[in-house]
Amino acid sequence: MVSNGGGPNDPRSGVRGSRFRLLGPRGGKGASKTAVPVSAVPTRAAGAAPSIPKSSKTSKKRVLFVCIGNAYRSQLAEAFARAYGADVIDAHSAGLTPAMEVAPLTKQILVERNLGADDLFPKGMDLAAKEHYQILVNMTGKAISLPGARVLHWQVEDPVGKSEEQFRAIAAQVERLVQRLVLELRQGS
């Protein structure tokens, strides 16, 4: 039996008498009904952080996606990278001349894909330059770089002034490019 300091009936222990602990998403609706003996549940010292394999900490790359206004392409790329490649990418975005707000169509496309869009805001390169990135994804069409960062140039048309149909095609292109980058990073290239 596992002791987390209070005994078998302590609500903090997860053990109720001799019953098994149920594993699943917080025991709520949709929780797994698979019973696992408490002895099979990994334990750690009180207050200790969960152990994370060393390889997952070192394999994650800090990636900065850059476009002109940080209102369309780079915001999409950041959101797609967080959704599809959180295991290999620490995603950020910025713009050369940040817009006043993220474009409503950008947010709409992310919401349609069940990706969070509420906390998005345009950021400038001045903030980004204070951080270290392993990869800089340049969608500006201009020559930019950051010290120590590998630069990838993505030929993605600026959607400003384009129709919704054209913008959706550009968003799909950004999504495919991000998925390709995620796969390359997972393969170690």
60-186: CATH, from 3.40.30.10, 3.40.50.2000, 3.90.78.10, 3.40.50.2300: 3.40.50.2300
Q: For residue 151, how many other CB atoms are within 10 A of its CB?
A: 15
Choose between 32 and 126: higher pLDDT: 126
pLDDT digits (tens, 9 = 90+) for 165-187: 999 999 999 999 999 999 999 99
Where along the chain do its domains lie?
60-186
Residues β-bridged to residue 96: none
pTM: 0.69
pLDDT digits (tens, 9 = 90+) for 92-138: 999 999 999 999 999 999 999 999 888 899 999 998 888 999 999 99
Q: DSSP string spanning 41-65? A: S----TTPPPP--HHHHHHPEEEEE
